[in-house]
Amino acid sequence: MPAPADALEILLGHSPDPDDAFMFYGLAKGFVNAGPYRFTHILQDIETLNRRALAGELHISAVSIHAYAYLQDRYALLACGASMGDGYGPMLVARPGLTLAEATRHKIAVPGTLTSAFLALRLAIGDFDYTVLPFDRITEAVAAGEFDAGLIIHEGQLTYASEGLALLLDLGVWWGAETGGLPLPLGGNAVRRDLGPARMRELNGILKASIAYGLAHRDEAVAYALGFGRGLDLALADRFVGMYVNALTLDYGERGRRSIALFLERAHQRGYLERPIAVEFIS
């Protein structure tokens, strides 16, 4: 359905990854009514989106929950679009033979200092030496010996073993053990507050409809999402999408909201965030 001539352009930032592609399939392909809006999809890695949101450049953006701590004055979180690691999550990997204790004494390649993975690793092991690399270069850099260990996100969680790397720590497993089984909060969709309450609620409904469309038309949505995966076949793409697009993505629910509050509270208690964070969800 073409956008009306007077449609308001909405800059929508999300990652070029299978889970985000799956979420926005219905909207990108016109299967979901976009209402009085014209969505311009901007595909960039999550750290770049975090930085652009800090500058207020995007109306809606996928952001790390860690980054949201610095965005709350300008953005609210949509109740849909969550990426939560429910018993799994970002991973610290290394070449075989290195222990977790040894890895903490070496430089670790990380996908960005505003990512939730980075904050979760600091909560898990304390401060460490690191270098920021694009997320899709980390496994190859560790395999090549450029770094002793790497913090991996996205589909690298399913492909690291095929590159000869070993798992040292799964942060989703760690967080679940720390919190009695809560999912690790990783990412969400932030909406700019200057759009006003009515538009924010309307936009939440449109994005939720797109997520619901993908879940209801899973095979075609996964086939579309496969085009955004690196090193994934159809079965792995389907598995990856299932990990990060599910009931929690339609709405954080009580577990998701409680986990985000606890995640940011612990970061503040440990001195990684300067002030307490009160998250507002737009339903």
Tokens read off for 162:
């095929």
**From residue 136, how far is each of 111, 125, 153, 223 by CA, in Å?**
8, 23, 9, 21
**Which DSSP category does 5 fall into?**
T
Q: Is 281 helix (H, G, I), strand (E, B) or coil?
A: strand
Q: d(Cα 53, Cα 61) in Å, to the nearest integer?
A: 7
| CB 224 within 8 Å of CB 115 | no
How many C-beta atoms lie closer than 10 Å to residue 164's C-beta? 12
Q: How many residues does the chain have?
A: 283
Residues noted as catalytic: 154
Q: d(Cα 229, Cα 231) in Å, to the nearest integer?
A: 6
Nearest CA to 90 out of 188, 180, 168, 148 is that of 168
Write the burial class of residue 254 (CB in 10 Å: 0-12 exposed, 13-18 middle, 19+ buried): exposed
